[in-house]
Amino acid sequence: MKQMQIIVLVKQVPDTTEVRLDPKTGNLIREGVKSIVNPDDRNAVEAAVSLKEKYGAKITVLSMGPPQAIDAVSEALGMGADKGILLSDRAFAGADTWATSGTLGKAIKKLGDFDLIIAGRQAIDGDTAQIGPQVAEYLDVTQATYVCGIDEVRPDAIVVKRRLEDGIERLELRLPALLTVVGELNRPRYPFVGRLLDACREKAPIEVWNAADLGFKTADVGLEGSLTHVVRTFSPKSKRQSEMLEGSARDAAASLIGKILNKKLLRETV
Amino acid sequence: MSVWIETDLCNGCKRCIKACPYDAIEMRGEKAFILERCTSCGSCISVCKQEAVKTDAVPRTIPDFSDWKGIWVFAEQRDGELLRVSLELLGKAKELGGELEQGVSAVILGKGIERLCDTLIRFGADTVHLVENESLRLYRTAAYTKVLARLVQQFRPSVLLMGATHLGRDLAPRLSRRIGVGLTADCTELSIDKTEKILLQTRPAFGGNVMATIANRYSRPQMATVRPGVMKTSEIPGQAGEVVCHDFKVEEKEIGTKVLELVREKKKKTDLSESNIIVAGGRGVGDRKGFVLLEELAELMGGELAGTRVAVEEGWISQDRQVGQTGHSVRPELYVACGISGAIQHRAGMMNSRYVAAINKDPRAPIFQVADWGIVGDLHEVVPEIIKQLKTGSWNKQQRGGGD
């Protein structure tokens, strides 16, 4: 069997658990939020590196984002990937999942033959989970989402476990295939410091491609190449008038039960 | 393409700042200034009365989609049982169809599922498209994508909705790319723009920290997945509909995927989306013992126990009972939040509850802003008091004003 070619898709995201809202305006405070490798994508890198250790493989990490997203690619190299590509261009900004999957798909075609693409289930800033299946469709390969186990890789097929809401499914997919993986699949290793330092050096095997490198016109990518558009954003606000129930625990409890029964939310005979 | 401000023309009215969906404009001195994170979306251009916002973008023309009509719902079945979210989508589709004066269709794929068509009609479908054969018995991406793509291209619906289940989130993006349309994921609200007659799709973004409303102007059908549990079902008395059977075979070699094994986990069924009353706990509950107390209250009220992400991470409650952005969306009649501060990620999962009661020590906890009734106090004192009074009926004597 010739050496397996694996492509891993990673995204650099703001750590949304750290995001705060401005109490006066209700707007997001974007400044000072640190950037991380999307959590599910670290599982994807780990899965690729484990397969490399078991079967032998060459791993290419592919990301799209602003120039600083190179840090995410470097981190994946630090974990054991061999090569990195960052797609970065002002023209890519504002892309919806249609434009993003088209851009990633074209870059993968440029990279040449592959056996397996591994991505995280979803990114914590968008939470759409759409890029994996859309890239699989662009490339016309089989797909499995919510992968929680990789049982076996054969020259022409892969056997994976897929997490369902109420169970588990074992699937055999014809290769090439695209997997999106969930956190329970593995525990991502920390980047190896030596490799991480190498990945940050100038001679690191990371290339940056722009729209022209992929043969795109501006109208094909980014916001202009998108099919969906944000019309407005707003902070979720509540219409409820919070009525505070005062008094001792005993009084407050009694008032609350009264309110609840008054709205006929409980049977009186409990 | 880019967008810039002619500083000489800007009068500092800040309209563009309000219109910007990305917070990418700020005041620098007396003038508006466009920041690096601008995506050139152009929302600011039309609101500027001074015509100070300029762009070099060629305006995009919207194609004529007047022959794309009808609201379609992909009805998901699992082992021959309809998923509740499919009925929730039909309820919403009926409402949208009413506004657009267009019919509602359900499409269902599988094997031996004909009897489900009746339910789909009772819950709002004017037409049910039924495709049955062995290759569709178990869900496989390629087979379902192929059949749906053909149906959509044949019947040209204006809107196509799917549940944001594991299956829906596997199928919808694959299908959208196949038929060349945009897709909005995990919507929590759908409405019709009255002037443009298009679907407005609202979803949490940025980890639930903001809500974004998204439009799909350039392709049809307008596709969206919708979170289970956020829309209401409504059975329509006397609703009549027709079932149209289609015969589409998909060859095994086209599918490329085999289901080797399918194990449904038979655990005690917790379906938070079906529950009328939910008693939920967060960090303030403190330990597993605290949840025993909440469970007693839940049982007494005939409800289910739930928790926040912190409660799950601490191991106080199982993951299938997590409410919030990364857990379930629920809409019970009554949601009792105990020791929950009300982080926006949690609120995203419970804000559709009909009534919310909150108990928290911190009077400034954001949960109180989304509550109908709030009690500032220690839940370890208040909850036992509620339990005691419910058991003995003594709440009535406590309340001098009288409840009812």
**Looking at beta carbons, which residues of chain B come within 8 Å of A235?**
209-211
CA–CA distance, B296 with A137 (Å, rounded to integer): 49
Q: Kindly state whether A175 is in contact with chain B, defined as any CB-CB distance less than 8 angstroms.
A: no
Q: How confident is the model over A103-122, as pLDDT tens digits?
A: 999 999 999 999 999 999 99
Element (H, E) at B259: strand B257-264
Q: How confident is the model over B222-232, as pLDDT tens digits?
A: 999 999 988 98
CATH architecture of the domain B71-255 equals 3-Layer(aba) Sandwich (3.40)
Q: Kindly state whether A183 is in contact with chain B, defined as any CB-CB distance less than 8 angstroms.
A: no
Backbone angles phi, psi at B82, to 5 degrees: -70, 140
CA–CA distance, A194 with A233 (Å, rounded to integer): 43
> Token pair for residue B86?
């499919």
Neighbour tally for A204: CB within 10 Å: 17
Q: How confident is the model over A144-186, as pLDDT tens digits?
A: 999 999 999 999 999 999 999 889 999 999 999 999 999 889 9
B167 closest CA partner among B136, B132, B204: B136
Neighbour tally for A244: CB within 10 Å: 14
- In the numeric block, the tokens 């004597």 are attached to B397
> Using 50, 70 and 90 to split pLDDT, how confident is the model at A90?
confident
B393 pLDDT exceeds 90? no
Structure confidence at residue B264 (pLDDT): 86
Reported for B3-6, long-range contacts at CB under 8 A and 24+ positions apart, including other chains, are B3/B34, B3/B38, B3/B40, B3/B42, B3/B44, B3/B45, B3/B53, B3/B54, B3/B55, B3/B57, B4/B34, B4/B53, B4/B54, B4/B55, B5/B31, B5/B32, B5/B33, B5/B34, B5/B52, B5/B53, B5/B54, B6/B52, B6/B53, B6/B54
Nearest chain B residue to A144 by CA distance is B170
Structure confidence at residue A147 (pLDDT): 97
Say whether A223 and B21 touch across the interface (CB within 8 A).
no
Instruction: Classify domain B3-55 at the CATH class level.
Output: alpha beta
Residue A177's alpha-carbon distances to A160, B8, B151, in angstroms, are 11, 55, 26
* Amino acid occupying residue B358: A
Q: How confident is the model over B205-242, as pLDDT tens digits?
A: 776 667 889 999 999 999 999 999 889 898 988 889 99
CA–CA distance, B222 with B214 (Å, rounded to integer): 11
User: What is the residue extent of each domain of chain B?
Assistant: 3-55, 71-255, 272-394
B96 closest CA partner among B69, B119, B117: B69
CA atoms lying within 13 Å on the CB side of residue A167: 11
Does residue B333 contact residue A260 with C-beta atoms inside 8 Å? no
Q: Which residues contact B118 (CB under 8 A, 6 or more apart)?
A: none
Q: Comparing B370 with A48, which gets the higher pLDDT?
A: A48
**Looking at beta carbons, which residues of chain B come within 8 Å of A17?**
207, 345
Which candidate from B334, B377, B404 shows the least CB-CB separation from A252? B377
CA–CA distance, A29 with A22 (Å, rounded to integer): 6
User: What's the burial of A166, exposed, middle or buried (CB within 10 Å: 0-12/13-18/19+)?
Assistant: middle
> Token pair for residue B283?
């960090």
CA–CA distance, A252 with B240 (Å, rounded to integer): 50
Does residue A124 contact residue B207 with C-beta atoms inside 8 Å? yes
The share of chain B scoring above pLDDT 90, in percent, equals 65
Say whether B176 and A130 touch across the interface (CB within 8 A).
yes
Name the A residues in 51-80 with CB < 8 Å from any B CB.
none
Beta-ladder partners of B189 = B202
Q: Kindly state whether A142 is in contact with chain B, defined as any CB-CB distance less than 8 angstroms.
A: yes
DSSP output for A179-245: EEE-GGG--PPPPPHHHHHHHHSTTSSEEEE-TGGGT--GGGSTTTT-S-EEEEEE-------PEEP
Collapsing DSSP to helix, strand or coil, B380 comes out as helix
A213 pLDDT exceeds 50? yes
If you ran DSSP here, which 8-state letter would residue A68 be given? G
Q: Comparing B201 with B35, which gets the higher pLDDT?
A: B201
The share of chain A scoring above pLDDT 90, in percent, equals 67
- ω into residue A176 within 30 of 0, thus cis? yes
CA–CA distance, A122 with A140 (Å, rounded to integer): 20
Does residue A108 contact residue A8 with C-beta atoms inside 8 Å? no
User: What's the burial of B145, exposed, middle or buried (CB within 10 Å: 0-12/13-18/19+)?
Assistant: buried
CATH architecture of the domain B272-394 equals 3-Layer(aba) Sandwich (3.40)
Question: Does the fold of domain B272-394 match that of domain B3-55?
Answer: no
**Looking at beta carbons, which residues of chain B come within 8 Å of A241?**
372
Nearest chain A residue to B206 by CA distance is A125
Does residue B221 contact residue B157 with C-beta atoms inside 8 Å? yes
Tell me the ipTM for this assembly.
Answer: 0.89
Nearest chain B residue to A161 by CA distance is B261
Say whether A173 and B257 touch across the interface (CB within 8 A).
yes
B404 pLDDT exceeds 60? no
Backbone angles phi, psi at B321, to 5 degrees: -110, 15
Say whether A168 and B265 touch across the interface (CB within 8 A).
yes
Does residue B318 contact residue B296 with C-beta atoms inside 8 Å? no
B319 pLDDT exceeds 90? no
Beta-strand runs (E) in A76-156 = 83-87, 116-120, 142-153
Domains, chain A: 4-220 (3.40.50.620)
